[in-house]
Structure 1
Amino acid sequence: MSLHEAKASDFAPDWPAIIAVVLGVTAFSVAQGLTYPLISLSLESRGVSAGMIGLNAMGFAAGLGVATLILGRLTRLASADKLIIASLIGCSICLATLASTSELVIWFIARFALGFFVSMVFMLGEAWLNTACPDRLRGRVSGLYGAGMCGGFAAGPLAIPLLGTSGGLGFALLAIYIALVAFLTGLLTMGARTRPEPSSTRDLFAFFGKAPMLILMVLMFGFADIAAISAMPVYFVKTGHSQAFAALSVTALAIPTAVAQPFIGVLLDRLPRRRVAISAAAIAASGYLLVPLLSSDIALLLTFAFIGAASFALYTAALTMLGEEYRGSMLVAGSAAFSLAYAAGSAAGSGATGALMNFINPIAGPIGVGVVLVVFTLAFALNGRR
């Protein structure tokens, strides 16, 4: 019986692989957290239209989609560790390109390639994390992974006031950082004992039929997470709060979310994982429904912190349950399926919440998200009983 087929609790954790994956996802998150606003602000300062800036962001999303669809084929051509290192180097080259030129066409190409490479790091890293981790530690390791991801997203935008939006300094420093991460990842993989097994596009689509509830968990995470990040600051402004408070709400969401994930991981290892996930969904739903009833700024920020921690806990739980229930090629397929589910959920979350606030009333935004999460929580609980 191979290592991939053995019960996950039968082997010692592959710490070099785990550390490499956490380093990689942190780099991925910093890159995305910094480049999303930095590219938009840089283009805006050069007089590029809002529509063209939106199209540029779509180039990143297109890269994510292409990576998801050809991931299985690439894993049959090269091992996951080599693909991760190559993708990190690719990210560094893309960022260096953004730093060295202002040609809009080249920025479109670099943005597409950046989306492709960071998606490869993300999907292969998740599969490798579950391959390298014994089940007795799976929740805690997933929690550390989630903390690295959240911390990276939170840290990226904080660098913009220090680096500015012109001159390419931010892109250049980030390119150097990613290159160093690629070098460290290469050193760590020399001591790694595990590798994810190759997958295929067929496995990807098969996973949707095998694990609909895991897919729905990630879909709901994307729905609630992006609604909080993109739509709720608009809600706060529309209900009389300052723009400074709206910006502070995102910080109040991101930092507690990162801090909470290791503790969520402990709960996932000590309690029934499905119950932890159901509880997280219920807390997130309650938070959204509570927001319109609160008038205190402190109470709103605290509630927002709980919403962020509980929403991301759905993803941490889904990642943990993926490794618990699946082996081999289905780990890569599951990670790719999670990427598609998150993309669909985030698109629905920002679009639906914005529409509710525009066409009904601002308070319809958080209430609508809360109701969707309540329905999901009930469906999840009933599915577990069956």
Structure 2
Amino acid sequence: MTSKTVEVGDFAPDWPAIIAVVLGVTAFSVAQGLTYPLISLSLEGRGVSAATIGLNAMGFAAGLAAATLLLGRLTKLASADRLIIASLCGCSLCLATLASTSSLPVWFIARFALGFFVSMVFMLGEAWLNTACPDRLRGRVSGLYGAGMCGGFAAGPLAIPLLGTSGGLGFALLAIYITLVAFLTGLLTMGARTRPEPSSTRDLFAFFRHAPILILMVLMFGFADIAAISAMPVYFVKTGHSQAFAALSVTVLAVPTALAQPFVGVLLDKLPRRRVAISAAAVAATGYLAIPLVTSAPLLLALFAVIGAASFALYTAALTMLGEEYRGSMLVAGSAAFALAYAAGSAAGSGATGFLMSLINPAAGPLGVGVVLVVSTLIFAAAGRR
């Protein structure tokens, strides 16, 4: 196991690897952003029950978990670039399967496999990004990576009105797109000079012990991010806004968040990174606490955009600090730990926020998220002083 390092050497960035990773994460984000609503809408249109649709979504989550547990073993069998290309091809096959059949059992299998493959692209890509990037550019490159991820998530759902939810056209076109990304990734890796080192499950558990603050940052990002996407539109409807406004709020959240991440990356390279993370958590906390006080629709959308940019900045900062502080096998282990932390945070964010709004009143939802973020900000600040 490679331990934590203090000194970070300077070197020329491995641009073919960086471009390949950004392409891969954008494809991953488009696939997830499109397939989540598209599969649900397609199944609903076929008369499938809500419970079965929920179980199908759990198949995707099970694939994510399986990839995390098998990541160390797979990195010992093949290099990261080959695993990424194979996973992109696997995503394409899964999508082609969804386009070619309406068999519900086959869709369950394909959804599990899709979760597995996209998780592999996500985890290995982050480790490779930090391996290929010198520390002087790490924040800016992480910001571009975050912009690609946010942009992909935002673009996916926007394609549904154009492609429709029946006939499999959306799945087929997405399969072709990801195949092209896999081909381009293969070409780029021929010129890449860096590769992430193999990892293990033992490294994964070691990372949780060594980096609790980074894990907490990702956990809180997942908590705030999913609360904004899943629970806040419900809050808007319950407080008298239209469903169109609630839907618009998600788009307003995604687009400015993507545009803001490169600027966040510049701050991470110019200022102390822990202070940038603390400031992002404080801004997100303040935004959530202010939501019940704002009644103007334009101001509410502007506030929501700030919340999205600040909460995602927590992840951009965590990714940058991961590459700054760790090397070798711990980069892959850290990326896998981030995936688990995000999954746990997102589950807690959607569940807890909905519970508070149902148990107390709608305003308890954003106020509860704000309080959690305030506590997290204080923990970050205390850890920085130590």
Report the TM range for the smaller structure's normalisation. Answer: over 0.9
Q: For residue 313 of structure 2, what is the aligned residue in structure 1?
A: 313
Structure 2 match to 1:156: 156
Q: Check the 8 A contact 2:12/2:134 in 1, yes or no.
A: yes
Q: CA deviation at 1:358?
A: 0.3
Q: Which position in structure 1 is the counterpart of 2:197?
A: 197
| Unmatched runs of 5 consecutive residues or more in structure 1 | none
**For 1:138-149, what aligned pairs fall within 5 Å after superposition?**
138-149=138-149
Post-superposition offset of 1:10: 2.0
Aligned counterparts, 1:207-356, within 5 A? 207-356=207-356
Show the counterpart of 1:71.
Answer: 71
Cα drift, residue 302 of structure 1:
0.4
Task: Report the counterpart of residue 49 of structure 1 in structure 2.
Answer: 49
What is the match of residue 376 of structure 1? 376
CA distance in 1, matches of 2:217, 2:307: 15
2:385 is aligned with 1:385: yes
Give runs of aligned pairs for residues 25-64 of structure 1, distance below 5 A.
25-64=25-64
Query: 2: distance between equivalents of 1:163 and 1:242?
Result: 25
When normalised by structure 1's length, the TM-score is 0.98
Q: One-letter code of the match for 2:342?
A: Y
Q: Is the 8 A contact 1:5 1:328 kept in 2?
A: no
Distance in 2 (CA, whole Å) between partners of 1:263 and 1:145 is 12
- The alpha-carbon deviation at position 8 of structure 1 amounts to 4.2
Code of the aligned partner of 1:304: F
Aligned equivalents of 1:79 and 1:11: distance in 2? Answer: 22
Per the alignment, in what secondary structure is the counterpart of residue 202 of structure 2?
Answer: helix
Distance, in Å, in 2 between the alignment partners of 1:222 and 1:79 is 29
Task: Read off the aligned partner of 1:110 and give its amino acid letter.
Answer: A
What is the alpha-carbon distance in structure 2 between the residues aligned to residue 348 and residue 307 of structure 1? 18
Q: Deviations over 1:84-113 (max 9, x none)?
A: 000000000000000000000000000000
Partner of 2:107: 107
Q: Which residue number in structure 1 is paired with residue 18 of structure 2?
A: 18
Checking the alignment, whether the CA contact within 8 Å between 2:225 and 2:312 is kept in structure 1 is: yes
**Offset at residue 243 of structure 1 (A):** 0.2
| CA shift digits 1:235-294 (9 cap, x unpaired) | 000000000000000011000000000000000000000000000000000000000000
Q: Distance in 2 between matches of 1:116 and 1:254?
A: 25
AA aligned to 1:104 is: L
TM superposition shift of 1:7: 5.3
1:169-194 superposed Cα distances (whole Å, 9 cap, x missing partner): 00000000000000000000000000
Moved over 3 A (4+): 4-9
Give the alignment's TM-score, normalised by structure 2. 0.98
Whole-angstrom distance in 2 between the partners of 1:6 and 1:283: 29
For 1:5 and 1:246, locate their aligned partners in 2 and report how far apart those are by CA, in whole Å: 45
User: How many residues matched?
Assistant: 384
